[in-house]
Structure 1
């Protein structure tokens, strides 16, 4: 019996590779004779860079840029095997997890560093870029990113506006005269996990703003500022990009990059192609996938939904094991034969993160046991007990939230 394990990262606790290895161990602890192939996945957010570089045997390039808080930092972009394509993951520079919760302010955080990273890759000679959009802490519509690439914004007095989102509402004129020439010669592909527009009830401010520190009142202000920003740019460039699918990805960076000619695509599909997911599934009997938290956004391009859809097309049953779920799980049964939460009792988020390895192992083991029973395969309970030792000893009793 062959299992393919293709999870996304469990944000804040496990990388996709770590999650896949834990699920593999749980399956083999229950069914030692099984064949398990790990295909760590990503959809444009955290883990995209690692997944693509590892699957193509590429390498990393270290670069000094500015982070979301406009402070100097060192980060990297990847060069895929073959040496022609550079991969940039915005979460590496302005990721939500890189900004302490107390400092998450959508009016001050900038995407300038992402533009610096793009400029570095272009100036190094790469003319094909894959940019993973997802997991950002910013909500500036790519305002800072464009400035790092040479785009200039001016207020009514003709004074250049600095690259911080508080200045969006002051924009009177934009100039692309000093845009880095290499941008127009590059083929830029955007790997996104969402298809939201820039503005409106489904836009980046309304949907993703709250997790980035925006209050309900802030959301209206941010949305209005981004609409004004889009008005000025679209009038100058004679186009309409704010309603394009994915324009709201990564706090609106999808909008800015599409203005520059970038092409939007499914991040999960792009990663799957590089990681040869279809090839791995060709002779699989079961597919396991997962993510840290499953919510309504899962069905809009996230890794589990993509994996489940591909598996379904091939007639292979797919199981979803995530850290936790919000309402709306029933809608997922069209894609998965069953869905499971790794969290097995009331606990705080901190406890769930600390115990993520053991919880995921236990949940996967339980599903594997059920599959064995349904397939009339004798369980190897002794092996399960042995394999669980390393995981159980890391569990501490969680505190129940009052």
Structure 2
């Protein structure tokens, strides 16, 4: 991958348009999770330290090209000022004379926040005129919103064609982590993919079997693969209409030299609730009236052995019903092994996706992973091997 970072562009005296993702959860007019704002802070501080003038572009909610007062970015000013430790000036416009005046009079050391980009109908249409109007406000474009990189919008893609462009610190860290995981990884590479349905991760699985050496499949989708192998999965969540596709994926993996690890023993229960009576049985011996809710200890041991031989790990999705005990055991155990190996310098571990982050946090393993992506859809599309417009624009 070839793209500029903040270190590659002269920022002194320049207005830097920063595409951020500060679409944070709020309740009662206050931010309830400032993680995205906190992750933006290094970029803002570095621009200010270099003598640049940061001007923030971001969306908030889904106003669909119309002004929706409760989706104004104005309410985020206190949280931004607290995170950046510097004044933040709000402008009720995103482009045009008022926005230009706000840029011109912005005091040194301050940050300008422009109004919600999605208030403008041309944003999600990647409108060329809107992008040009945005670009007219700045000298440099900095994209620090990897979480929006899979969208070709005016503020994420088209604007980059008008100005010298670079990746912000969060985007830079994300791209380096992803390149280390699948672009040019140290081998062997192991991927852990879990979740409920094969149908939602077809492209992901099809791409991974040609990129990794071992593919661990868990969660509800593992049941579909077990059914494809002719095993009775009882009352388990499974997509029986997808067994043909599952067989195709296994054949593709075999041809590519990728070893697929499916559960060899499973944890079964007759009801889905915390502390439900449960048994550990061989994968081929699931009772007809029981559900598979987790991988068993023998399966976990095989996963741990595989991780012990790996140099690189990419993880998306839990191995079982991690939300409730005791069906979180396999996810917790495997995650803690990955964390220990990473801490010891033996493994580069990259993880992402909503349930993944929650599961690794619950296991107490997240802090030791090399990189945890908060990008959601962009992370998944990257795993699927798709070109991300927001990243491609920086390379152009």
Q: Same fold (TM over 0.5)?
A: no
- Answer with 1 or 2: which has the greater Rg: 2
TM-score (norm 1): 0.31
Q: Which structure carries more relative contact order (alpha carbon 8 Å, separation 6+)?
A: 1
TM-score (norm 2): 0.31
